[in-house]
Amino acid sequence: MASVSAPQVYRTEAIILRHQRYGEAGRLVTIFSPNHGKLRVLARGALRPTSHLAGHLEPLTKVVLLLARARGFDLVTQAETLESHGAIRSTLWRMSSAFYAAELVDRMSQDNIESFPIYRLLQRFLAWLEEAKEPDVPVRFFELQLLGVSGYRPELRSCAECGAPLEPVLNGLSGPAGGCLCPACALKSRDVRPISVNALKVLRVLQLGDRDLAGRLRLDAPLARELDQLMRYYMPHAVDHDLRTTGFVDAVRATRPTGNHAGTTAPVTLDAQPDGQLPVEAAAP
Ligand SMILES: [Zn+2]
């Protein structure tokens, strides 16, 4: 008896990273799931007015999908929104920050490689962004943690070239070297940016991965700007591409809130932290 096996169907939670048009009315959707990592799945007919799928497949949405295995892309047969992240969509700086994070995850992940830490990181980042008063600390935290769980943890303790412990002086940050350089090695390097003592200190705190501690960081405007420029330089080395959304981030820069973070908890006194040998001037809230 000839057996025709039914299409194999599976259910997964996922965060939508992006989508693109596919054929006449289809949508090719890039998702990140807890158990299958990054997947590209096809929502046939999603652009037809009668389709009930499209509304659930917008970027940043957390969904449950029912997928049918297919020869090419697996097919979306059902979609249900778990979290639409409306608070992110309603603010341009939140949205640009979230799209940037989604692009980082997309660029730094390969299809079908399970990584629950990345999924959890993205999910927690989006939740944080919904209530955040400013983008700098959440975005920097996300970058440092994503580098870590993706295997690109930058060296922030000792020189990435000679191994000497970094002193509390002006050091270098090098994309090709994968972290900081001591002044002597920085002088010999062609691809390096200066990193201040305070900026290095903040990156070290963020690298600890303690969300509550990071949430109490207060960055004054020059320090926030320095960190932004440093990570804008550094991240493409890990991603190995220019990032499309940094242009978008630039465009909405004027819309971000000014000044320091509003907050109800006391700011972190950084010289009291575990790696407290380098003091950071914490701005008053
Ligand atoms: Zn060195």
Distance 183 CA to ligand 1 centre (A): 7
pLDDT tens-digit series, residues 17-56: 999 999 999 999 999 999 999 999 999 999 999 999 989 9
pLDDT tens-digit series, residues 170-209: 999 999 999 999 999 999 999 999 999 999 999 999 999 9
Q: Mean pLDDT across the stretch 247-261?
A: 59
Q: Note the pLDDT of residue 240.
A: 73
Q: Look up the CATH architecture of domain 87-272.
A: Up-down Bundle (1.20)
Question: What is d(CA 221, CA 40) in angstroms, rounded to the nearest whole number?
Answer: 39
Q: Picking from 82-91, 177-186, 219-228, 251-260, which range would have the lowest pLDDT averaged per residue?
A: 251-260
CATH superfamily of 9-84: Nucleic acid-binding proteins (2.40.50.140)
Question: What is d(CA 258, CA 238) in angstroms, rounded to the nearest whole number?
Answer: 29
The DSSP output letter for 259 is S
Q: Note the pLDDT of residue 263.
A: 42
Q: Note the pLDDT of residue 2.
A: 47
8: tokens are 């194999």
207: tokens are 């690298």
Inter-residue contact 178 to 152 (CB < 8 Å): yes
192: tokens are 């390096």
Average pLDDT, the chain: 87
Could you tell me the pTM of the whole model? Answer: 0.85
* Dihedral in degrees, nearest 10, Cα atoms 119, 125, 130, 135: -150
Question: What is d(CA 53, CA 78) in angstroms, rounded to the nearest whole number?
Answer: 7
Distance 168 CA to ligand 1 centre (A): 14
Distance 207 CA to ligand 1 centre (A): 21
202: tokens are 């903040």
pLDDT tens-digit series, residues 48-84: 999 999 899 999 999 999 999 999 999 999 999 999 9
The pocket of ion ligand 1, defined by CB under 5 A, consists of 159, 161-162, 182, 185
Element (H, E) at 131: helix 116-131
Distance 170 CA to ligand 1 centre (A): 13
Name the pLDDT band for 278 (thresholds 50, 70, 90): very low
Distance 223 CA to ligand 1 centre (A): 24
Distance 8 CA to ligand 1 centre (A): 55
165: left (phi over 0), alpha (psi -120 to 50) or beta: beta
Q: Distances in Å between the alpha carbon of 66 and those of 12, 33, 212?
A: 7, 12, 35
Question: For residues 30 and 261, which has the higher predicted lDDT (pLDDT)?
Answer: 30
pLDDT over 60 at 260, yes or no: no
Distance 47 CA to ligand 1 centre (A): 55
Question: What is d(CA 249, CA 99) in angstroms, rounded to the nearest whole number?
Answer: 9
Residue limits of CATH 1.20.1440.120 in the chain: 87-272
